[in-house]
Chain A
Amino acid sequence: MTSRWPIWLILGLTLTFLIGPFLIIILAGMSAGNSLAFPPDGLSLKWYAKVFTIESFRASFGLSLFLAVFGTLAALIIGIPAAYALNRYDIPGAETIKTAVAAPIIVPGIIVGLALLRYLVVPLDVTIFMALFVAHTALVLPYAVRVVSSSLQNLRSDMEEAAVLLGCTRLQAFTKVVLPNIKGGVLAAFILGFVTSFNEVPVSLFLSGPGVRTMPIDMLSYMEITYDPSVAALSALLAFLCVAIVFTAEKFLGFSRYV
């Protein structure tokens, strides 16, 4: 069995690179000293406590949470009917539409951000907040369409016809038969969208103004001024939040089936 050692080495390295940074951040945030360093300078939980007292973090966390929840919901409201139409009807240029929908994932975020700033915020006087909302919705939309599409593909269309013959309107057939059968996919899309939106940096970088900053951007600017371990503590807390969400989803829905 000695020949197995390369496998163990690769596995070990992979885990180190995946989990290592996470552990370093957790520990760096537990420092008793005043600057961000690893290994930590003594151990304490004071930076974890301090995170909750910083006013701007609270505001930016609120904004990020709002964008992640409502941006994703908006993306689903547009994305589910879009995915349905793309799957069920013979739409001319369906392939082109699918590609266009995926554009926000393919085009670098910096370009999307710049474009929104230059052609939406500046000339049209749209508030930064609105621009952020639009940007996050657009960013999440591709995931919504893709994930929902893949669960729709597994659903036969004659079920809807059966529902119609039992008295449903087309809309009722959708809400009573299609939706319950793709709800796993919808929830998976929501979680994926939530995490994507919450962690989004490049687009949001361009769309920030006085008092309107998403969480990651706020952390960046905080670090430019104050180089203390509270950012590490906050990062660790956010990472825990995301992991907790994904784990819960996996446990209850078998989330990974859909992505």
Chain B
Amino acid sequence: MSDAFVSLQDLTLAYGDTVAVPSLNLDIREGELIALLGPSGCGKTTTMRAIAGLMAVQSGRIEIAGRDVTRVPANKRGIGLVFQSYALFPHLTAFENAAFGLRLNRTAQADLVRRTTEALDTVGLGHLSSRRPAEMSGGQQQRLALARSLVMQPKVLLLDEPLSNLDARLRLEMRTELQRLQRETGITMVFVTHDQSEALALADRVVLMRDGVIEQIGTADALYNTPESAFAADFMGFENIFEIENATLKAASGRLPLGFSTDAPCLGWRPGDVHLGDGPFEARVISVAFAGRHREYVLASQLGPIRVDVDIAAPAHGVDAPVRFALPQATARPLRVS
């Protein structure tokens, strides 16, 4: 792709003999906000470290702005990285932490103070500039780590779970702040998360990873509504996924007629898409939970546990109540087995 700003080509990354990421290909456009999403241990941090130059590449190529940087040392790549563990400098104040990079390249004092103050204000730490990291909360430290990278106006900013330590309100604020920053500065951003809602809310494109391999890339809309594999669907909240064979649903306890025909080897339904009340399948309520606008049921059926969300206005069923449900053709999502 010619418009790729960051381009990973057949990238293989290993720790000793253990290959963490085998042959990854990914093109990121300039100014794009990309989310790396995936379960713990799938290689998100490893990929980030390779882009930043902190990890030797076993084979493959990394290009940034059309230039091959595979062998360029980390301090010459102009990439910012916010560490999962913050990695702040404990002997320096918040201000000096943020100003570290500017001091290093001998930025004029007035300029340094202005840019550092600006960055600290952006992340809402202006009033804590003389604190040391040990005197700050986890969320404040995380924001300081972000400010420290932002000050350098990097071409590419990598964020390893940048919002994981913030409370719900701050998280939303920082989300908005990150989006605003990205829009205003046009920095290309890659952020890691294992929270699908965060990835969907923030990113232009979401990269879903699994065991070092990209499972699916797409816009939030594409990933949410049209996951291609059972793994992706599971990650996107399709909690009822079944393998299909000859128009029957395969389950541990036996096969049940699907009621319509399909070519897909696998079908998935979100809890909200299962129809409760009447239908071909019998079940018993295991648990009911109140969730504001709807009730969340878990049913025991011949297909195993079924998760169903039902509008709060509908009549409630108690635990142990016998119910019937249907898996409608209209809301079934065809999937690859994985």
Which residues of A are in contact with B by a Cβ distance under 8 Å? 156, 158-159, 161-169, 172, 176-177, 180-181
Q: Is the CB of A165 within 8 A of B89?
A: no
What's the Cα separation between A172 and B105 when bound, in Å? 12
A166→B54 contact, CB < 8 A: no
Q: Which of A156, A159, A167, A181 contacts B101 (CB 8 A)?
A: A167
A168, B76: Cα distance in complex, Å: 9
> Of B54, B85, B91, which one neighbours A156 at CB under 8 angstroms?
B85
New A-B contacts (6) at CB < 8 Å, excluding given A162-B145, A166-B75: A156-B85, A161-B74, A162-B88, A165-B54, A166-B104, A177-B89
Judge whether B74 and A159 touch: CB under 8 Å: no
Pairwise interchain contact A165-B81, C-beta atoms closer than 8 A: yes
User: In the complex, are the beta carbons of B75 and A169 less than 8 A apart?
Assistant: yes
Chain B residues near A167 (CB, 8 Å)? Answer: 75, 101, 104-105, 152
Q: What are the nearest 3 A-B pairs in CB distance?
A: A166-B101, A162-B87, A158-B87
Residue of B nearest to A169 (CB): B75
Residues of chain A within 8 A (CB-CB) of B81 are 161-162, 165
B86: min CB distance to chain A, Å? 8
Chain A neighbourhood of B73, CB < 8 A:
164
A165 touches B104 (CB 8 A): no
Contact of A165 among B52, B88, B91, B105 (CB under 8 A): B52
B74-A164 in contact (CB<8A):
yes
Chain B residue at minimum C-beta to C-beta distance from A166:
B101
Contact in complex: A168, B91 (CB < 8 Å): no
Report which residue of A163, A166, A169 has the largest number of chain B beta carbons within 10 angstroms of its beta carbon: A166
Contacts A168-B75, A169-B75 given: A161-B104 contact, CB under 8 Å? no
- B75–A165 CB distance below 8 A: yes
User: Within the assembled complex, what's the spacing in Å between the Cα atoms of A167 and B80?
Assistant: 10
| Residue numbers in B under 8 Å from A177 (CB-CB) | 89
Taking CB atoms, residues of chain A closer than 8 Å to B74 are 161, 164-165
The reply to whether A159 and B87 form a contact with Cβ atoms under 8 Å apart is: yes
Chain B: minimal CB distance from A92 (Å): 13
Contact with A along B79-105 (1 / 0, CB 8 A): 111010101111100000000110011
Q: Can you name 21 A-B pairs with beta carbons within 8 Å?
A: A156-B85, A159-B87, A159-B88, A159-B90, A162-B88, A162-B89, A163-B100, A164-B73, A164-B75, A165-B52, A165-B74, A165-B149, A166-B104, A167-B75, A167-B101, A167-B104, A167-B152, A168-B104, A176-B100, A181-B89, A181-B91
Task: Tell yes or no: B44 within 8 A of A by CB.
Answer: no
Task: Tell me whether A156 and B105 are in contact (CB under 8 A).
Answer: no
B residues within 8 A CB of A161?
Answer: 54, 74, 81, 83, 87
**CA of A161 to CA of B148, assembled, Å:** 13
Contact among A158, A159, A172, A180 with B104 in the assembled complex (CB-CB below 8 Å): A172
Expressed in whole angstroms, the Cα–Cα distance for A172 and B148 within the complex equals 17
Q: Quick one: which of B53, B83, B91, B105 contacts A162, CB cutoff 8 A?
A: B83
Considering the complex, which residues of chain B in the window 62-86 have a beta carbon less than 8 Å from any beta carbon of chain A? 73-75, 79-81, 83, 85
Could you say which residues of chain A place their CB within 8 Å of the CB of B79? 165
- Which chain A residues border B149 with CB–CB below 8 Å? 165-166
Complex contact B54–A163 (CB within 8 A): no
Q: Which residues of A contact B54 (CB under 8 A)?
A: 161, 164-165
Tell me the minimal C-beta distance from A201 to chain B in angstroms. Answer: 39
B158 — nearest CB in chain A belongs to which residue?
A165
Contact with A along B40-61 (1 / 0, CB 8 A): 0000000000001110000000
Assess the A166–B87 pair: CB atoms within 8 A. Answer: no
A36–B87 Cα distance when bound, in Å, is 61
CB distance from B261 to the nearest CB of A (A): 55
The answer on a CB contact under 8 Å between B80 and A165 is yes
Q: Which of A161, A165, A172 has the most CB of B within 10 A?
A: A165
Q: Select from chain A the residue with minimum beta-carbon distance to B154.
A: A165
B101 contact set on A, CB distance < 8 A: 166-167
When distances are taken between beta carbons in the complex, the residues of chain B under 8 Å from A156 are 85, 87
Q: How far is the CB of B97 from chain A (nearest CB, A)?
A: 9
What chain A residues lie within 8 Å of B104 (beta carbons)?
166-168, 172, 176
Could you tell me the distance between the alpha carbons of A181 and B132 in the complex, rounded to whole angstroms?
A: 13
A210 to B74, CA, bound (A): 57
Shortest Cβ distance from residue A254 to the other chain B in the assembled complex, whole angstroms:
15
A158 and B90 form a contact (CB under 8 A): no
- Chain A residues closer than 8 Å to B89, beta-carbon distance: 159, 162-163, 177, 181
8 Å CB interface, B117-153 against A: 145, 148-149, 152
Kindly list chain B residues whose C-beta atoms are within 8 Å of the C-beta of A168: 75, 104
Q: Judging by beta carbons under 8 Å apart, are A181 and B87 in contact?
A: no
Cβ contacts under 8 Å, A164 to chain B: 54, 73-75
Identity of the chain A residue whose Cβ is nearest the Cβ of B151 in the assembled complex: A166
Q: How far is the CA of A177 from the CA of B104 in the complex (A)?
A: 12
Contact: A181 with B90, CB < 8 Å?
yes
From the candidates A166, A180, A181, name the one contacting B152 in the complex (CB within 8 A). A166
Instruction: Pick the contact of A158: B85, B91, B148 (CB < 8 A).
Output: B85
B residues less than 8 Å from A162 (CB atoms): 81, 83, 87-89, 145, 148
Name the interface residues of B147-178: CB closer than 8 Å to any CB of A: 148-149, 152
Kindly provide the distance from the CB of A205 to the nearest chain B CB, expressed in whole angstroms.
Answer: 43
Interchain CA distance A181-B89 in the complex, whole Å: 8
Taking the closest CB of chain B, its distance from the CB of A123, in whole angstroms, is 46
Min CB distance A227 to B, Å, is 54
A157 (CB) vs chain B CBs: closest residue: B87
